[in-house]
Amino acid sequence: PAVPPLLLNSSSVSSFLESKSISTVLFDCDGVMYRSGTPIPGVSSAITHLLASGLSVVFVTNSSGSNRASMADKLTKMMGTDIGPGMCLPTCYTAAWYIRKYHPEVKKVFVIGGQGIVDELNSVGITCIGGPPTPTTPTSMSSSDCESFTPHPNVGAVVIGMDESFNYRAIFEASTYLRDVNVRLISTNQDSYDVLNSDVWQPAAGAMVAAVEKATNRKAVNVGKPTTRTMEVLESEYGVNRAETVMVGDRLDTDISFGVTN
């Protein structure tokens, strides 16, 4: 295969985009736009330049903790550039889109993950149980607790995203619902870890998904990068033409794989 060009400055980037008739640039967020909440130098001017050039920009993240509006607000404040919800694609939105499109019969979901998942599912008329715990939410379960547990009726899917409060109770409740083969198992992403700095790698959603998969002998449908479900959303909801699109990211297993396979 041909060796891809090395783009070292704004002039070479502009020339590349023009030569390939690029209309849309997709950006990952953590590690590309910012690191640990701190903007990466030059990103604001780069985004401003791309938008001024008439290109569409979409921020495509495997994070599911914040809904599209919250994500847009965060990026706007961080970069000093007006970013709208229609420029943001977190995987919580993709999960809601996927259920609405492929499993419209699902009206109630058990959530392992952040508020963003709950918000986006609620926005398409889906009731959520689980989700972010309260300070009084128990985390453990004894054998007798398991035997006396009463599941909520009519749960049609289990959706798993990053959850820093992940615990045994979440595994048990998810596995209880998933004993019904008609209940769907969906992951917002399957990233194994997030790099906080050179010395700290934080276990990510993929570790939580793996625990539930092991407990249930089920395999989750992944809607995040690098899967085609993310591209389906971009094409149907964001007007992206994949033949005229570039993906900018920092991870080979998600961002770059997504760009190559889609």
How many CA atoms, within 13 angstroms, populate the side-chain half-sphere of residue 169?
A: 18
Whether 28 is catalytic: yes
DSSP E strand stretches across the chain: 24-27, 34-35, 38-39, 56-61, 88-90, 108-112, 127-130, 157-160, 184-187, 193-197, 200-203, 221-222, 245-248
Whether 145 is catalytic: no
pLDDT recorded at residue 106 = 98
Mean pLDDT along residues 1-21? 75
Mean pLDDT along residues 239-261? 94
Cβ contact 42:81 at 8 Å: no
Per-residue pLDDT tens over the stretch 58-111: 999 999 999 999 999 999 998 888 999 999 999 999 999 999 999 999 999 999
pLDDT band at 1 (very low <50, low <70, confident <90, very high): low
The answer on pLDDT for 19 being more than 90 is: no
pLDDT recorded at residue 3 = 67
Mean pLDDT across the chain: 93
Per-residue pLDDT tens over the stretch 140-151: 999 999 999 999
- Consecutive H or E run containing 248: strand 245-248
| 11's tokens | 């002039």
Q: How many whole angstroms separate alpha carbon 33 and alpha carbon 42?
A: 9
| pTM for this model (two decimals) | 0.93
Which of these is catalytic: 28, 119, 191, 255? 28
Q: Are strands 157-160 and 184-187 parallel, antiparallel or unpaired?
A: parallel
